[in-house]
Amino acid sequence: MLFNSLEFILFLPVVFLVYWAIKSLKYQNAFVILASYVFYGWWDWRFLGLIILATTTSFFCGILLNKFKEKKFRKAVVWANVIVSLGILGTYKYYNFFAENFSHLMSLAGIETGFVTLELVLPVGISFYTFQTLSYTIDVYRKNLKPTNDPLAFYAFISFFPQLVAGPIERADNLLPQFLHSRCFDYSKAINGLRQALWGFFKKIVIADNCGVIVDRVFENYQDVGSVNLFVGAVLFSIQIYCDFSGYTDIAIGTSRLFGIGLRRNFNFPYFSRDIAEFWRRWHISLSSWFKDYVYIPLGGNRKGKHYTIRNTIIVFLVSGFWHGADWTFISWGAFNAMLFIPLLMTGKSRRFKNSTVAENRVFPSVKETLMMGVTFLLVVIGRILYRAKTIPDAWQFFKRMVTEVTITKPLIDKTLIPLIIFLFIMEWVYRKKQFGLDISGHGLLKYRAVRWSFYYILTMIILLQTSSHEAFIYFQF
């Protein structure tokens, strides 16, 4: 079920009313599971078996890890869970990639392997809930987390529908306790949640979907498009994917607040970053932190010297690229970002903006900050060409034409889209110290309820008047 669909608009209020009508924590959690499975199964009910299998395996692994103290047995249990979880993910997402590449490699040596690909549909959200179940089991194994014996709370934690298919990738230490204790309706949090969800709908339906129309036209016909429009297409794709994914996150976090549940932040205005290291601390925060805790640190992190730190950083970026998709374009995109990150790492500048906000205590950024944000955004745009192109040669030809085939043509961008994009970034700049771009309560004229609600009404009308089709969220494919 898509957030930007009529089904969800009808589904949400019904679930909300029934949820708060139930006073028993046990039955409330049971209803969350039921509603979440309806939400997920609306796309294809057959794949419910996968999420139930992954959840059940992790739940009982947690119990076994708590029951047995012998290190050898505990290690076997956690590895069994890792193999099952990654086996499911690998079969559906990566089998064809490895089969095709292995077969091609063997054919170069004159050996015909006879490998066949599988006609499998990638289940929506499998990468997200797989990482969520894995982190639970690993944390229990490390004794960083005490496992739960409450199956209803655990199944609700894994399947909670707002964040089920595209994150944020929640950790058990944050989300699971919220299903173990009674929840009370909080009006102020609910209103704040609706505000954030509204901003998410604006970013997705108004900005991302309209950008997507132009982006598709440019990337599908790049051989016939002039350099100006190639650049416009690359820039708009970066805006599209940000508004699409962070828009989903805003709707997920906002919707969760309606149910008394707090999800972790996943985006922190990444396009206001002053270098690529700051960008990756602000973009898809839940995934970056997951790879840090479960890949980078176990590999040794930065504890074994600069060479090992560089190696571990490269591995994380390559794995991150591969997580996004079973294609060499995504792996190359990961490698490209590693190349941008390593110079900052080697010069000791990768953490220089960790605890600061651009234009701190100022309305406008300095010239230096503006240039740094511009360069960082340009590098992200270039990397996104690899991300969006069908093949690496396509990405190279796209970039080559963009910088060499200089032609002055009319930009394809719709004139009505430009002011909306400008409005988006103005709002996010003004509220860059807040949690999201529409976190406007108590600020200037917007502290008056009549002004705020007029503003919400206008924003809602802009969303409802959009004629673009309701497109699936980009990250559903991951």
Q: What is the pLDDT of residues 405-452, one digit of tens each?
A: 777 777 778 788 999 999 999 999 999 999 998 888 666 667 777 888
Q: How far apart are CA 466 and CA 478, in angstroms?
A: 27
Closest Cα partner for 376 from 286, 307, 281?
A: 281
**175 has pLDDT over 70:** yes
Range in 53-67, 217-231, 374-388, 400-414 the model is least confident about: 400-414
Rounded Cα–Cα distance for residues 131 and 85 (Å) = 9
Q: Could you tell me the two tokens for 35?
A: 């509603």
What pLDDT score does 443 carry? 65
Confidence of residue 275 (pLDDT cuts 50, 70, 90): very high
Cα–Cα distance between 464 and 4 in angstroms, integer? 11
Report the catalytic residues. Answer: 324
Length of the chain (residues): 478
d(CA 374, CA 361): 20
Share of residues in the chain with pLDDT > 70 (%): 96
Confidence band of 67 (pLDDT split at 50, 70, 90): confident
Token code pair at residue 76: 């076997």
- pLDDT exceeds cutoff 90 at 330: yes
Angle ∠(131,352,322) on CA atoms, nearest 5 = 30
Q: Is pLDDT at 122 greater than 90 in this prediction?
A: no
**Torsion of Cα atoms, 126 then 128 then 134 then 137, to 10°:** -110
Return mean pLDDT, the chain: 90
Predicted model pTM: 0.92
Split at pLDDT 50, 70, 90, the class of 14 is: very high
Stretch 457-470: mean pLDDT, rounded?
A: 81
Residue with tokens 């409450």: 150
pLDDT given at position 413:
80
**Average pLDDT of the residues in 305-330:** 91
Q: What is the per-residue pLDDT for 372?
A: 96
Instruction: Sort 218 into a burial class: Cβ within 10 Å, 0-12 / 13-18 / 19+.
Output: buried
